[in-house]
Amino acid sequence: MNRLARIGTLAMLLVATSLAQALDLSPAEQAGKRLYREGLSSSDAQVSARVGAADMLVPASVVPCASCHGADGLGRAEGGVRPPNLSWQRLALGQGQRQANGRSYPAYSDASLARAIQQGRDPAGNPLDPAMPRFVLSMADQRNLTAYLKRLADDRDPGVQDQVLRLGTLLPTQGPLAASARVVAAVLDDRIEALNQQGGIHGRQLQLITLDPGPDQASAEQALTRLLEQEQVFALIAPLAPALEPTLAARLEQARVPLIGATPALTTSLQIFDPLPGLREQLLSLADYAQANLVLQRADTRIVYADASQEELARRLEQELQHRGWNGIQARPLDEQASNAQAIFFLGQADDFKRLTELLQRAERTPYLLAASSQVAGQLPQLPDAWSRRVFLAYPFVPGDWTPAGRQALDGLRQRQGLDGRQGALQVSTWCAMQLLGDALKRIGRDASREKLVLALESLHDVQTGLTPPLGFGPGRRQGLAGAHVITVEMPGPVFRPVAAYRPVTEVNTP
């Protein structure tokens, strides 16, 4: 078999397995699902709905059922009138009177359900609140919708089984990230085992599926596809697959899969929750510090980036700093670096940082250098003494953040998993990712859905990890920490001297 044919067969196998594992819906139920989620009919006919007390007619695609009742049908508490849970068990099968929003009514039948959806009356004849649209449906569309509503409660998101909740990650077994991957795996295994020993979450054991993203983007894409389609994981946790950067956000959004963990600098998506601050927040913390404490002609500052992949972030920072009064700040590639700058924000890796300091030394200059610790820490011991107190680094957390309990928990983890203090930052960030995921899963209850997980993550505030400043997200906020500690480096040594404690960076609106 040639290579293409083999890939074709593999793709077919993948599709076949994923269909076998997903809920089998009949064509009518599928059509009903489309109507429920997207407001679209299976025929060419446009479905419409009357909304509000004034009965305004709009396409149903503007107000699909899922937009209020949730793709999972569990209802959402928004505003005063709550869209009820639409599980067929609750609507039709269970015994006795139902209650919702002060109405009391007997079980629904197919006919009274159609009346509720089309005319806005419940089985007792009570009018539904006008927040519930009245839909104009053909008989076929109504039949399909009813058929789907009867299956809705079983149409769970992938990875949610009776006894097990499946999580996925991508960790390379070879190459430069393999050692980091082993650390991440050790922390995840340890935390998951601890949760499972306490009985899991809402009666489900957590199961982690780990795949190797392989050497390049194509292999990483394939591994991600396998996790989502064949392995049917519910959410992703702490993957190490930088090759996915160009497509990750779009893939997650399309599949609506939440990811908890650090991702490369530029990948932002509402599906991605990063426990720690991004490079942007770290550099802005440094800028806040410099603005308040270093005597700078801010016209003579640069943002230096080591390779083209960082240009976009560098340009964004350039704009943001200009709005904060850093007139004349300029983003430049490392190699075009004009050495007369007084302060340089650095974006790159440890080797690039070394190259930058060497370039500057040759020009006999030691400007302030400001960088995220994760990007340069490896190079610091080699810095000449002339750089003493000229280098300022952002740290998401410092040992001063560690409570006795946090330290003890981390020590216990290291002992059980044979880890030492190396890759401490990665240990802590993975620990935090797992804690945030666990907390959010506990909040959403037994009816787990990806949508609910995203909402629950958004609702986490002031999460105490014992190892970091308190973490939290919010609607639209996807970084667990909105700033960093600032540390300066004294030579000889290096001696790391805290100069500003963590606080969220001041957000300045950029037009």
In the complex, the residues that contact ligand HEC under the rule CB under 6 A are 63, 65, 67-69, 81, 83-84, 86, 98, 100-101, 103, 113, 116-117, 122, 128-129, 131-133, 135, 145
Q: Which residues, 6+ apart, have CB-to-CB distance to 95 below 8 Å?
A: none
Are 440 and 246 in contact by the 8 Å Cβ rule? The answer is no
CB 136 within 8 A of CB 61: no
Closest CB to ligand HEC among residues 101, 196 = 101
The minimum distance between CB 26 and ligand HEC, in angstroms, equals 18
85 or 379, CB closer to ligand HEC?
85
Pairing of the two strands 368-372 and 98-100 = unpaired
CB-nearer residue toward ligand HEC: 98 or 478: 98
Q: CB of residue 215 vs ligand HEC: minimum separation in angstroms? A: 47
Distance separating alpha carbons of residues 397 and 481, to the nearest angstrom: 10
- Minimum Å gap between C-beta 258 and ligand HEC is 24
Nearer to ligand HEC, 51 or 419 (CB): 51
Least distance to ligand HEC from the beta carbon of 49, Å?
7
Q: Is the dihedral of CA 354, 360, 364, 366 positive or negative?
A: negative
- Measured from the CB of residue 117, what is the shortest distance to ligand HEC in angstroms? 5
CA distances from 255 to 248, 271, 356, 450, 477 (A): 11, 10, 41, 10, 20
How far is it, in rounded angstroms, from Cα 54 to Cα 39?
A: 21
Considering the complex, what minimum distance in angstroms separates the CB of residue 116 from ligand HEC?
A: 4
Q: CB of 100: closest distance to ligand HEC in angstroms? A: 4
Ranked by CB distance to ligand HEC, the top (closest) residue is 65
CB burial class (10 A; 0-12, 13-18, 19+) of residue 41? buried
In the complex, the smallest distance separating the C-beta of residue 66 from ligand HEC, rounded to whole angstroms, is 8
Nearer Cβ to ligand HEC, position 76 or 256?
76
Choice between 51 and 195, CB closer to ligand HEC: 51
Q: Which two tokens stand for residue 4?
A: 């293409």
Which residue type sits at 249? A
Smaller CB distance to ligand HEC: residue 68 or 347? 68
Residue 455 to residue 271: CA distance in whole angstroms: 10
| Cβ partners under 8 Å of residue 42, min gap 6 | 31, 34, 35, 140, 141, 144
Identify which of residues 74 and 206 has a Cβ nearer to ligand HEC in the complex.
74
* 353-386: burial string, b at 16+ Cβ within 10 Å, e else: bbbbbeebeeeeebbbbbbbbbbbbebbeebeee
**Cβ distance to ligand HEC smaller for residue 63 or 369:** 63
Tokens matching residue 265: 């600098």
CB of 39 to ligand HEC, least distance (A): 7
Quick check: helix, strand or coil at residue 475? coil
**All residues at 6 or more sequence positions from 511 whose CB lies less than 8 Å from its CB, including other chains:** none
